[in-house]
Amino acid sequence: MGTYVDRDLRPSRDRSYDDPSDGGRAGGRRSSSTSRRRPGGPPRRGGRSRADGPKAPLWALLSVILGALVLLGSGGVVVGPTLLQRLLVPSDINAGAPIPEDIRGEDISGAINFLLLGMDNPDVPGQTDRRADSIVLVHIPPTHDVVYMISFPRDTQATIPAYPATGLNADWTTKINNAFFVGTRTTGPGPNVWERESDLSPEGRARGAELTMRAINNLVPGGLGLEFHGWATIDFEGFTTVVEALGGVHMCIDSDFYSIHYYPDGTFSGIPLWGGLNTDDPAGGPYGSGYHYTVGCRDLEPWQALDYSRQRYGLPNSDYDRQRHQQQLLKAIVKKVASTDTLTNINTINKLREAAGDMLTMNLGGHELIDWVWTLKSLRADDIVMIKTNGGTFCNIPGGTEQCLTDDMLDLLRAVKNETVFDFLAAHPDWVAKDQ
């Protein structure tokens, strides 16, 4: 079981990513100031205790970030394991084959790395091939007081190692989202991966997660050597039912753009509304304009929230903006689940439980669920820190469609391995993405 550390003995959670010239950081030492700022937010007001205020139940955090459904009451009251397992734990909590030993983290009492994969939806009816549309590395340092979310563009160039089991007979340098595609092919028959059928069983998804983990390790020259403690796949079609169960979420829209998926009245188009990409002529193009999103914070209907998180065309930074918006949606869901209105509504909780069954396939690395409960029981929504890919700048590979990672981005991955993400963000404060 993960080691329990009394809250009063934990190091302060207030952090600062100040410039060294201001005394906030110097020579890699943490500032002794009591006004250290948390990543992406102000210091806690009035010395507020961790026990004060609404705390996101662990099942919300895990269902969104780690893929489990665990229920902890607000204020630190733990629901008994028997009741917890009877009500909220998916039957496939350790689905598929175990994570291979050479990349599996054995102990969740220290640093934790969790892979979160959002599966794309085929554009062609009847097509079953799936790729990872969203790839998020969730890193929790040994203090278990913050959750870092690092996204990889699906077009990131990576080397997928040979995987004869599904017919990939040699290393393949390609887009990183193809790693999940290779893993979710059948183990036979067929001479190569392109002639195998799709296999989206828990075993197939486990192979896809494994290959994505190995592709991430291959991003750093010489190999990163990162160990993973679990993984989850999220079907974003199923995600719709989760947001519907919550009745929508509150989000802050940071760009003015037109949807390519929905008409202005909220009707699903079924065809790309390319005309809406030209904001100077929003009615142009063969299909007319889409729903218009304007800058500002507001409550979004379920279809709006999902559409906002899927959009990349018409955004200033394309897929980079979409990654940030998907992180925003995940955090908004955690906050909504943590609200009193949700926690006291048994009907909403039941709807969420049912929705998660359709949405999630997950593997906790062979660790017992109760270990995760006690290890991460103090986390809440405000502890999620979203990190911009490449600091929010493009890194295109000339002459191709793949994207690269900057040297600083590779340093961030090394910081994950070396458990120095705080120090990296202290030197790169503009890499912390805001959710509003």
Each domain of the chain, given as residue ranges in start order, spans 7-247+342-433
Q: Provide DSSP, 273-308.
A: -GGGG-TTSTT-STT---PEE-SEEEEE-HHHHHHH
**DSSP tag of 94:** B
pLDDT score at 324: 80
Residue pointed to by tokens 């007319």: 288
- Two structure tokens written together for 24: 């906030």
Burial of 20 (0-12, 13-18, 19+ CB in 10 A): middle
- More confident position, 350 or 436: 350
Q: What average pLDDT does the segment 251-271 reach?
A: 86
Confidence label for 312 from pLDDT (cuts 50, 70 and 90): confident
Query: Does position 63 have pLDDT exceeding 70, yes or no?
Result: no
pLDDT score at 14: 42
| Contacts made by residues 1-10, CB under 8 angstroms, sequence distance 24+ | 1/368, 1/370, 1/371, 1/374, 2/108, 2/109, 2/371, 2/372, 2/374, 2/375, 3/109, 3/375, 4/374, 5/144, 7/50, 7/51, 7/378, 10/143, 10/145, 10/378
pTM over 0.75: no
Query: Does position 267 have pLDDT exceeding 50, yes or no?
Result: yes
The total number of residues written for the chain in this structure: 436
Query: What's the whole-number average pLDDT of the chain?
Result: 74
β-pair partners for 72? 78
Report angle CA 373, 51, 142 to the nearest 5 degrees: 50
Tell me the C-alpha distance between 258 and 402, whole Å. Answer: 26
pLDDT score at 119: 76
Which residues neighbour 301 within 8 Å (Cβ) at sequence distance 6 or greater? 248, 266
Percent of the chain at pLDDT > 70 equals 68
Q: Which fold has domain 7-247+342-433?
A: Nucleotidyltransferase; domain 5 (3.30.420)
Tell me the C-alpha distance between 294 and 418, whole Å. Answer: 41
pLDDT score at 333: 80
C-alpha 206 chain-centroid distance: 17
Q: Is 299 left (phi over 0), alpha (psi -120 to 50) or beta?
A: beta
Of all helices (H) and strands (E), which one includes residue 61? helix 58-61
Query: Does position 405 have pLDDT exceeding 90, yes or no?
Result: yes
Say what the alpha-carbon torsion angle 391, 393, 399, 401 is, to the nearest 10 degrees. Answer: 80
Q: What average pLDDT does the segment 65-79 reach?
A: 31
Tell me the C-alpha distance between 72 and 15, whole Å. Answer: 26
- More confident position, 197 or 287: 197
Return the minimum-mean-pLDDT range out of 49-63, 70-84, 235-249, 386-400. Answer: 70-84
